[in-house]
Chains A and B, each alone.
Chain A
Amino acid sequence: MVDLNSYIYLSLILFFIGLFGFVFRRNIIILLACVEIMLNALIILFASISYFRQDATGYILVFFIIAIAAAEAAVGLTLAVALYRKLKKVYTEEINLFRG
């Protein structure tokens, strides 16, 4: 039987997979992809709560999350490209401007 709890479990598992990738991966593009996974997990959470509580707030928040996620991906990838043009590096452990 699938209820709200199943959807919350799925969403949190996805969220922690994304968080794991964000913490333990070094490639900037993969890092941004992990942020997208986390946002997708939140989308499932909001939509399922909205569905099971008969409340439109979650759907509207999902709409906003998708818009913000598109903006975030554009800015993040722009920064990645700018960083690559400047330093020719994509791995975060190689980028150490502040340490000199």
Chain B
Amino acid sequence: MSAQDLAFYYLGFAMILSALFTVLSRNPVHAVLSLLVLVVHQAFMLYLLGSEFLSAIQIIVYAGAVVVLFLFVVYLINLQKETRFRVFVRLFSLGLIFFILFAFLFVKYFVLIFSMNIGLSPLLPIDPTSSQALKMMARYLYTEYLFQFELIGVILLVVVFGTVFLLRKVKEERVG
């Protein structure tokens, strides 16, 4: 077993565990903090998958912005604990069984489809182990995916406007 395999098993185990903590924890603060653990481990996994750039982006954007935003909102609005795991439909256990069955079948056939080798040549060829990988990726980003790249900027601008608009309107209604 090589060091890379060992790293994969450790990271995968930690990610699944922290995802379960996020989902099952009753205290929202604990849930968001385990989401942070998940995100940091995933950044290391992206490093393992040959992209230091995406690893850094993951740390900056997810751990630095998104999770901190979650924490702010948790502290802002949610002061009480969820007292129990609420069962909101009568046939909860039946639903759980069907969910697990669906998940199992989905995983089985999804892996089957993706592990098939249909002999397609790479769309945008790149060697992730070479030192030129980031350069190549940047070139594709600014040629093949230029329109989508600009669209991301427009979407982020709209998000800023929408956020300000939504929160401002509620405040005005409260005053008036």
Contacts and interface: CB of A to CB of B under 8 A. Distances in A.
B4 A2 contact: yes
Interface in B32-90: 32, 35, 38-39, 42, 45-46, 49-51, 54, 57-58, 61-62, 65-66, 69-70, 73-74, 76-78, 82, 85-86, 88
Contacts of A70: 61-62, 65-66, 156
A39 to B, nearest CB: 9
A75 B5 contact: no
Nearest to B77: A84
Nearest to B165: A78
B124 interface: yes
A53 B163 CA distance: 39
A49 B118 CA distance: 14
Interface string A63-91: 11011111101110111111011100011
Given A56-B137, A69-B62, A9 B111 contact: yes
Interface residues of A, number: 69
B46 A47 contact: yes
Contact of B39 (A19, A40, A59, A78): A40
Most buried by B among A13, A17, A56: A56
Contact of A55 (B23, B39, B125, B174): B125
Contacts of B99: 19-20, 23
A49 B116 CA distance: 12
A55 B123 contact: yes
Contact of B140 (A5, A60, A90): A60
17 contacts: A6-B8, A10-B16, A12-B106, A13-B107, A14-B16, A18-B19, A26-B86, A33-B35, A44-B49, A47-B49, A48-B49, A49-B114, A55-B124, A63-B57, A64-B148, A70-B61, A74-B159
Interface of B: 4-5, 8-9, 12, 15-16, 19-20, 22-24, 28, 31-32, 35, 38-39, 42, 45-46, 49-51, 54, 57-58, 61-62, 65-66, 69-70, 73-74, 76-78, 82, 85-86, 88, 96, 99, 103, 106-107, 110-111, 114-115, 122-128, 133, 136-137, 140-141, 144-145, 148, 152, 155-156, 159, 162-163, 166-167, 170-171, 174
Closest 8 CB pairs of A and B: A21-B23, A55-B122, A56-B126, A56-B124, A84-B77, A16-B103, A71-B159, A51-B49
